[in-house]
């Protein structure tokens, strides 16, 4: 079959590879790209295997054995480490990563597979993977009604859609006017930067300055949820004053648990998250290197790789 393999930083090759082996084989219909893929392509990533390695982690397709349409989650928790036993599968110490969506077929263990609701197209279902992380991040927040979001990329906009569906007032801050326009289309307010102080703030960029902006936008007693991962080795400087005198709560949010994936699929199927807003062009495997190299300065869009093309 054909697959896109990473041979090293910025060295992606589409080639014939042996058929995947594993518990269940899924024929890939759509694999969406995200910022993490760009990071993996450019710098490598701790969850990638040794080069050459398969990647692509937002994958939807059809089980070859039963014909059922499924979302292939990108990880399965071990079930036995301390976080797993405490019900926090998303921070499992020994997860199995399931990468390789940028291929005609992918092998996955049964627990990674989630049925796709009827009527939800594969290219929308693939977005359930990042959306599940947004679902989890909202749970990490508080009940506050005045919410600020730093970053209007796909993650920031997914957070906005989920929070607006809960009748909250949401302001999305992003320097790109196209992304601010997308936020407004969702029903959010938009700004260059969060000028006011909010009772709940989400950071959805993954850069030290965005972490600082998020903390600086917090009202006394607010909760700040840090969703974007900074590159390893990064140092973040924060003003200790508000953290102490205003009892700000900084909470990390990472990844998702299996139940979050099912909630994400339901949110996509019911229209709570208007996935059309984030749907970018559909491309072939051969187009992928060019897509990953394209600077993402405009609207927040996810490319849809259809390996059957």
Give me the residues that bind Zn ion (CB under 5 A), please: 34, 36, 77-78, 81, 84, 92, 130
Instruction: Rank residues 129 and 199 by Cβ distance to Zn ion and give the closer one.
Output: 129
Tokens representing 231 are 């590159």
CB of 37 to Zn ion, least distance (A): 7
Q: Could you give the 3-state DSSP secondary structure of residue 304?
A: strand
CB of 220 to Zn ion, least distance (A): 34
Instruction: Rank residues 72 and 194 by Cβ distance to Zn ion and give the closer one.
Output: 72
- Which H or E run contains 164? helix 154-165
CB of 92 to Zn ion, least distance (A): 3
CB of 115 to Zn ion, least distance (A): 20
Residues 36, 102 contacting (CB under 8 angstroms):
no
Tokens representing 107 are 């092998």
Instruction: Rank residues 58 and 199 by Cβ distance to Zn ion and give the closer one.
Output: 58
Number of CB atoms found within 10 A of residue 146's CB:
16
CA distances in angstroms from 252 to 91, 167, 209, 226, listed in the order given: 11, 24, 16, 5
Instruction: Rank residues 188 and 278 by Cβ distance to Zn ion and give the closer one.
Output: 278
CB of 184 to Zn ion, least distance (A): 24
Q: Which residues contact 245 (CB under 8 A, 6 or more apart)?
A: none
CB of 99 to Zn ion, least distance (A): 11
Instruction: Rank residues 71 and 219 by Cβ distance to Zn ion and give the closer one.
Output: 71
Instruction: Rank residues 218 and 275 by Cβ distance to Zn ion and give the closer one.
Output: 275
CA distances in angstroms from 91 to 113, 167, 203, 252, 259, listed in the order given: 19, 29, 19, 11, 14
Residues 60, 70 contacting (CB under 8 angstroms):
yes
d(CA 282, CA 214): 34
């Amino acid at each position: 079959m054909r697959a896109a393999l990473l041979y090293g930083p910025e060295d992606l090759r589409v080639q014939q590879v042996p058929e995947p082996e594993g518990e269940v084989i899924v024929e890939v219909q759509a694999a969406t790209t995200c910022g993490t893929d760009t990071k993996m392509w450019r710098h490598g990533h701790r969850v990638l295997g040794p080069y050459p390695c398969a990647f692509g982690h937002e994958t939807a397709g059809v089980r070859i054995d039963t014909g059922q349409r499924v979302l292939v989650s990108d990880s399965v928790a071990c079930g036995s480490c301390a976080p797993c036993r405490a019900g926090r599968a998303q921070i499992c110490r020994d997860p199995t990563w399931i990468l390789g969506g940028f291929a005609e077929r992918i092998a996955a263990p049964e627990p990674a597979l989630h049925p796709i609701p009827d009527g939800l197209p594969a290219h929308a279902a693939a977005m359930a993977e990042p959306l599940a992380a947004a679902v989890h991040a909202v749970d990490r927040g508080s009940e506050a009604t005045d919410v600020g979001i730093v970053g209007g990329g796909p993650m920031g906009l997914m957070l906005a859609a989920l929070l607006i569906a809960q009748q909250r007032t949401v302001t999305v801050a992003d320097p790109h006017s196209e992304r601010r326009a997308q936020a407004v289309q969702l029903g959010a307010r938009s700004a260059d930067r969060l000028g006011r102080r909010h009772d709940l703030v989400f950071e959805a960029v993954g850069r030290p300055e965005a972490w600082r902006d998020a903390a600086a936008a917090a009202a006394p007693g607010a909760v700040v949820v840090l969703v974007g991962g900074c590159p390893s080795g990064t140092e973040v400087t924060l003003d200790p004053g508000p953290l102490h005198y205003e009892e700000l709560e900084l909470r990390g949010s990472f990844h998702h648990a299996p139940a979050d994936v099912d909630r994400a699929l339901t949110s996509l199927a019911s229209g709570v998250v208007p996935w059309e807003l984030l749907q970018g062009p559909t491309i072939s495997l051969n187009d992928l290197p060019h897509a990953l190299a394209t600077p993402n300065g405009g609207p927040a869009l996810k490319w849809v790789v259809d390996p059957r093309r």
